[in-house]
């Protein structure tokens, strides 16, 4: 294992050196280089089928398949991404972001954690699996799909998945872009929230008008919009769209117990995650972790309208706009929430005002797997073996392509990740804790063996 570890770290450093910033067109050549780099490593490792899917406008994705010897073994698709976030503000980095540095047991550099480290973890996991079992092929048919546009919001993922439906067919998806709750509290993530963004605009007339000549006699769109925004929540911070909570699935008693047992310091959480907020707030009856993991939200992201420049302009503005986003939990659906929002806006549009609702794309549905799903139980067992301690459940408050992958593949999706929430992903000085990645690799090695066991395999493949 020591030799494997050294080459693992050296490899990850090599990959981190490639600045594959997908959102920046000046770095698209680097995204191509990164895909090529991964393709070459997979071939080096003996994966029999390796392809770079490079049909624009999508940035290149890498696909690989290593069939199990036993044709009845389940097929597992591992998802990750090789594009990375931009590095601004670059002056806040202690070391150049694409010159990886080892410091203690950490590896620092852009992409070390999100998500190159975790993809590399799976490559190592397979090597460990083959070495430990003496096999020449994995116990399950393994497929690897590493996209190049995750940090851009995966705009072509649906098309890519549809175009390669046959190659990507599987019995289970393993999603790698996920973290542990804390270094000393290994957890298995069981879901992510969805998101729907919308822009609500209220129009009065066609032009701003003099607030003396017309003020007091015509509706003010900014005032009307402020009332709509104020009406979004009740005094208990619950969202007031009609039917908003109808499809919300409550966490299981076991999940709530697990969340409550996780180490959590509210002051520290506020300092690290609250952006300087001085107190927490939210729905009564739910803890902070529950509020961000298993409860849906409406947040006003920005309000604009009228004159906001220097000095004063005594007007009634012609229009006002609010950008609002909703985080959704199972079994809510963005389409249904969009209908609820339109109805809410209609009800809160006063006479003399015209409203418009613009949606930001189709939204991302939420996803969660039942903790007692056999595939999830297999992950818990694999993680417990690797970390040598009981593993608890957690969720993620953010959103990602898990629901899309799950819906298109039509099979369960589980999470296997070994990074940390404070890895400073998307921020200066991104790091990954190398021993955790090694444990994650060990967990993957166990998982392939466990999933091939007759009873789980039968349930997955039937």
Q: Which residues bind Zn ion (CB under 5 A)?
A: 114-115, 177
**Ordered DSSP codes for 146-202:** EES-GGGT-TTHHHHHHHTHHHH--SEEEE-S-B-SBTTB-EEEEEE-EEEEEEEEE
* CA distances (Å), origin 437, targets 86, 100, 224, 252: 23, 16, 52, 29
Closest approach, Cβ 122 to Zn ion, in A, equals 14
Closest approach, Cβ 80 to Zn ion, in A, equals 8
Closest approach, Cβ 107 to Zn ion, in A, equals 16
Facing residues of 78 across strands?
Answer: 144, 174
Give the nearer residue to Zn ion in terms of CB position, either 149 or 171. Answer: 149
Give the nearer residue to Zn ion in terms of CB position, either 430 or 442. Answer: 430
Give the nearer residue to Zn ion in terms of CB position, either 117 or 204. Answer: 117
Give the nearer residue to Zn ion in terms of CB position, either 149 or 255. Answer: 149
Give the nearer residue to Zn ion in terms of CB position, either 93 or 175. Answer: 175
Give the nearer residue to Zn ion in terms of CB position, either 175 or 344. Answer: 175
Measured distance CA(34)–CA(39) in Å, rounded: 9
Q: Write phi, then psi, for 254 (nearest 5 degrees).
A: -65, -40
User: Are 180 and 418 contacting, i.e. CB atoms less than 8 angstroms apart?
Assistant: yes
Closest approach, Cβ 273 to Zn ion, in A, equals 17
Least Cα distance to 255 among 366, 172, 376 occurs for 376
Burial class (CB in 10 A: 0-12, 13-18, 19+), 2: exposed
What letter would DSSP give residue 443?
A: H
User: Are 175 and 406 contacting, i.e. CB atoms less than 8 angstroms apart?
Assistant: no
Closest approach, Cβ 34 to Zn ion, in A, equals 14
Least Cα distance to 34 among 129, 125, 151 occurs for 151
Closest approach, Cβ 154 to Zn ion, in A, equals 10
């Amino acid at each position: 294992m020591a030799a494997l570890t050294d080459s693992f770290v050296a490899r990850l450093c090599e990959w981190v050196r490639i600045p594959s910033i997908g959102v920046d067109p000046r770095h698209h050549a680097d995204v191509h280089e990164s895909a090529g780099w991964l393709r070459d490593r997979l071939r080096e490792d003996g994966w029999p089928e390796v392809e770079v899917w490079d049909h624009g406008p999508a940035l290149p994705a890498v696909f690989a398949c290593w069939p199990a010897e036993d044709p009845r073994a389940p097929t597992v698709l591992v998802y990750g991404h090789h594009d990375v976030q931009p590095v601004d503000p670059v002056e806040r980095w202690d070391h150049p972001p694409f010159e990886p540095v080892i410091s203690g047991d950490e590896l620092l550099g852009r992409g070390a954690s999100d998500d190159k480290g975790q993809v590399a973890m799976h490559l190592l996991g397979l090597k460990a699996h083959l070495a430990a079992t003496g096999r020449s092929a994995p116990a399950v048919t393994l497929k690897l799909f590493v996209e190049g546009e995750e940090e851009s919001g995966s705009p072509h993922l649906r098309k890519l998945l549809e175009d390669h439906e046959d190659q990507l067919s599987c019995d289970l998806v393993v999603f790698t872009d996920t973290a542990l709750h804390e270094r000393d509290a290994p957890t298995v993530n069981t879901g992510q929230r969805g998101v729907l963004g919308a822009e609500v605009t209220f129009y009065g007339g066609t032009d701003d008008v003099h607030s003396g000549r017309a003020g007091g006699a015509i509706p003010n769109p900014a005032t009307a919009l402020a009332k709509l925004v104020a009406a979004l929540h009740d005094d208990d911070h619950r969202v007031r769209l009609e039917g908003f909570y109808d499809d919300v699935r409550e966490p299981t008693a076991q999940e709530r117990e697990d969340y409550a047992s996780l180490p959590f310091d509210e002051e520290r959480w506020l300092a690290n995650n609250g952006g300087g907020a001085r107190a927490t707030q939210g729905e009564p009856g739910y803890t902070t972790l529950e509020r961000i993991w298993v409860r849906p939200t409406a947040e006003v992201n920005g309000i604009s309208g009228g004159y906001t420049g220097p000095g004063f302009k005594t007007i009634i503005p012609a229009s006002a706009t609010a950008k609002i986003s909703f985080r959704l939990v199972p079994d809510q659906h963005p389409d249904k929430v969009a209908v609820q929002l339109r109805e809410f806006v209609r009800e809160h549009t006063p006479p003399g005002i015209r409203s418009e609702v613009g949606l930001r794309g189709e939204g991302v549905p939420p996803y969660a797997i039942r903790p007692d799903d056999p595939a999830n139980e297999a992950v818990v067992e694999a993680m417990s073996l690797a970390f040598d301690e009981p593993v608890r459940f957690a969720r993620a408050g953010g959103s990602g392509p898990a629901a899309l992958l799950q819906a298109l593949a039509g099979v369960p999706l589980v999470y296997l990740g070994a990074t940390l929430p404070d890895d400073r992903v998307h921020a200066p000085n991104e790091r990954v804790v190398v021993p955790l990645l090694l444990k994650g690799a060990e967990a993957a090695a166990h998982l392939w063996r466990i999933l091939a066991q007759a009873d789980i395999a039968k349930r997955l493949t039937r």
